[in-house]
Amino acid sequence: MSSKPFAISEDWVVVILGLAIIILALSGVIIPKPSFSWSSSGDLMSNVFSTANLGAIAAQFGLVYSTAIVGALLLRKNLKSLLIVFPIVMLLTVLALVLAGNETVKEYNLEAVIFSLAIGLIISNFFKLPQWFKDALSTELYVKIGLVLLGTTVIFGDILKAGSLGLIQALLVVVSVWYFSYWVCRKLKIDKEMSLMLSSAVSICGVSAAIATSGAIQGDNKKLSYVISLVLITAIPMMIFMPYLAEWMQLSQEVTGAWLGGSIDTTGAVVASGSLVGEEALKISTIVKFSQNVLLGIAAFFISIYWTYSKSVDDETKKDKPTLKLIWERFPKFVVGFVFVSLMFSFVVPAETNALIKDSLKSIQGLWFALAFTSIGLETNFKDLFKQDNKKPLYAFIIAQTFNIIVTLLIAMALFNA
């Protein structure tokens, strides 16, 4: 009688790989953070393509490449194709990071993930990629490793420093906007998966919230790409016009900052719009946005529980409650890794050690997300992404974002209109 080969689920593999990267950093193996900032061709050559910076990029590549190989071995995936495909994905991702690092591009707050996605989409729609190439793309693995590393930035002490008013507004906005968004989605008969990703993106912190929610519910990559496209497209006009609207309404800098920080979905756009108003507005908008960002892990945790429970009910029975064992079996284990890492960096890792490694880990976390979106683009059809026969998610997003703007303004006026 042959015994079944031992296998580890992808979620546990993600936890193992994420913790291994963190342990390496805590042990002193700190990968330097490469710079991708440039404003001219001379700056590009002297900064981004300097010997030292290329060495930092190569070091990051060595880390993520070896991590991907170990992941493939643990998951019993085709190693030969990965050895070929991963360096190509990395090269395309570095190109996206370079494009996003341009000074002019930064003014428009276009994030690296949108360039990663666009590059992948262009290649996949103008060239026919072989199936073995697509099979070697491990999008979910990359996203989940990035999410485990995201736990290093969610420090409970920092939440208290964000300010009581910022935290109060963040809680009120996230809860009210999330539930309204989800209610609108369900009224429009949008599926639960899209509803959860869209609601989180509108109410919490845009791209990061959509990614975290998708990971928590094992979401479809095409739906995730669509939601992120909506977030990035709407962030630019909001960033430009809301400061002028606030000026027309004669709002104080404090109220304006709270409004911008709670309404605009991407952190970069919040900083840019706050800067247009003034120093106090920039300070308040950053505090409020940070307060919303730190709620991301908590939201992802509860969304995971809700999704696991509802999925268990749908799949197993309509009459009997699902058992705790069944819920645990379906619960995404990488969320456990995220919470563990967050607690570890909040209460165990010394602040001095965290200060030494946080930039390195944050850069690697961003790289995993960028690698994931390059992969999504390479496996996605352009028409499927932007030519949606069902316009309901777009309508839901517009309605939810409008509600977000109005409710956040009212809460900001109530809390910050001293």
The model's pLDDT over 281-309, given as tens digits with 9 standing for 90+, comes to 877 777 777 777 667 767 777 777 777 77
Higher-scoring residue by pLDDT: 148, 98: 98
CB atoms within 10 A of CB 134: 14
Give Cβ neighbours of residue 2 (< 8 Å, ≥ 6 apart). none
Give tens-digit pLDDT for 266-276: 665 676 677 67
The residue ranges of DSSP E strands in 40-151, in sequence order, are: none
What span, in angstroms and rounded, lies between the C-alpha atoms of 396 and 184? 6
Residue 101 within any structural domain of the chain: yes
Q: Is the pLDDT of residue 169 over 70?
A: yes
Residue 3 within any structural domain of the chain: no
pLDDT at 318: 46
Give the mean model confidence (pLDDT) for residues 328-334.
67
Residue 5 within any structural domain of the chain: no
pLDDT at 312: 57
pLDDT at 268: 57
Q: Is the pLDDT of residue 210 over 90?
A: no
Q: Taking CA 383 as the corner, what is the angle to CA 382 and CA 384, rounded to the nearest 5 degrees?
A: 90
Q: Is the pLDDT of residue 187 over 80?
A: yes
Give tens-digit pLDDT for 306-318: 777 776 555 544 4
pLDDT at 2: 46
**How many C-alpha atoms does 82 have within 13 Å on its Cβ side?**
19
pLDDT confidence band for 153 (50 / 70 / 90): confident
- Which residue matches tokens 């190509």? 88
Give tens-digit pLDDT for 212-256: 777 777 777 778 878 877 776 676 678 778 888 988 998 888 888
pLDDT at 302: 78
Residue 332 within any structural domain of the chain: yes
Give Cβ neighbours of residue 385 (< 8 Å, ≥ 6 apart). 121, 222, 225, 226, 229
pLDDT at 161: 55
If one counts the domains in the chain, the total is: 1
Q: Is the pLDDT of residue 42 over 60?
A: yes
Give the mean model confidence (pLDDT) for residues 391-404.
89
Task: List the one residue out of 260, 192, 264, 255 whose CA is nearest residue 231.
Answer: 264
- Which residue matches tokens 């058992």? 323
Residue 233 within any structural domain of the chain: yes
Higher-scoring residue by pLDDT: 389, 57: 57
Q: Is the pLDDT of residue 349 over 60?
A: yes
- Which residue matches tokens 């190989």? 69
Residue 70 within any structural domain of the chain: yes
pLDDT at 271: 63
Residues for the chain: how many in total?
Answer: 418
What are the phi and psi torsion angles at 102 (to 5°)?
Answer: -65, 140
Give the mean model confidence (pLDDT) for residues 45-70.
96
What is the domain range of residue 293?
Answer: 10-416
Higher-scoring residue by pLDDT: 109, 128: 128
Lowest mean pLDDT among 3-7, 106-110, 207-211, 338-342: 3-7
Mean pLDDT for the chain overall: 82
Give the mean model confidence (pLDDT) for residues 168-182.
88
pLDDT at 61: 97
From the centroid of its chain, how far is CA 282? 23
For the record, the structure tokens of 307 come out as 């999704």
Higher-scoring residue by pLDDT: 80, 1: 80
R_g of the chain computed on alpha carbons = 21
Task: List the one residue out of 408, 398, 415, 412 whose CA is nearest residue 176.
Answer: 408
pLDDT at 274: 76
What span, in angstroms and rounded, lies between the C-alpha atoms of 168 and 296? 15
pLDDT at 324: 64
Task: List the one residue out of 159, 199, 206 whose CA is nearest residue 182.
Answer: 199
pLDDT confidence band for 1 (50 / 70 / 90): very low
Q: Is the pLDDT of residue 99 over 90?
A: yes
Give the mean model confidence (pLDDT) for residues 188-202.
87
Higher-scoring residue by pLDDT: 274, 94: 94
pLDDT confidence band for 418 (50 / 70 / 90): low
Give the mean model confidence (pLDDT) for residues 159-181.
79
Residue 328 within any structural domain of the chain: yes
What span, in angstroms and rounded, lies between the C-alpha atoms of 72 and 302? 29
